[in-house]
Amino acid sequence: MVLALAAAMSVAGASERYGDQKVVYHISFDGGDSGKAYTRALINAQNHIDAVGQDRIRIAVVMHGDGVDLLKEAKSNSALQTRITQLKAKGVKFEVCNNTLTNRKINYSEDLFGVSEKDIVQSGVAEVVRLQQEGYSYLRP
């Protein structure tokens, strides 16, 4: 009971310390062996939510270039699937660059995990800038 109260108090204090946040996580890199770099990026996003509070943060994960492979890797990686699903349940948006899909001949509904038409943006880099113009802070995990 005491530990639960201490944990609740530390989360409340942290969310007050950090205030409301809007953040764009920019992923355009290769995930490496078994998608380890992608896993670290998703852990960063979860840690960010834990620190700020789910109701006080909006996160958009924008992927283009090699970053789209995060969702490609997730097709066969159940650990990535779980992390993505949990983050989506907490309101994290995953946005995929249509230019990358077109240039690499990727079929989003067959080749990527959990992507629907509403998740596709025309240009990943243009989306990152649009979000920054809307007040999102930029992070490259």
DSSP H/E element including 48: helix 36-52
pLDDT of residue 34: 85
The proportion of the chain whose per-residue pLDDT surpasses 70, expressed as a percent, equals 89
Are the C-beta atoms of 74 and 34 separated by less than 8 Å?
A: no
Write the DSSP assignment of 78-109 as a string of letters. HHHHHHHHHHHHTT-EEEEEHHHHHHTT--HH
pLDDT in tens, 10-24: 555 666 889 999 999
Residues 106-118, mean pLDDT to the nearest whole number: 97
pTM score of the predicted model: 0.89
pLDDT of residue 11: 54
DSSP, collapsed to helix, strand or coil, labels residue 46 as: helix
pLDDT of residue 2: 46
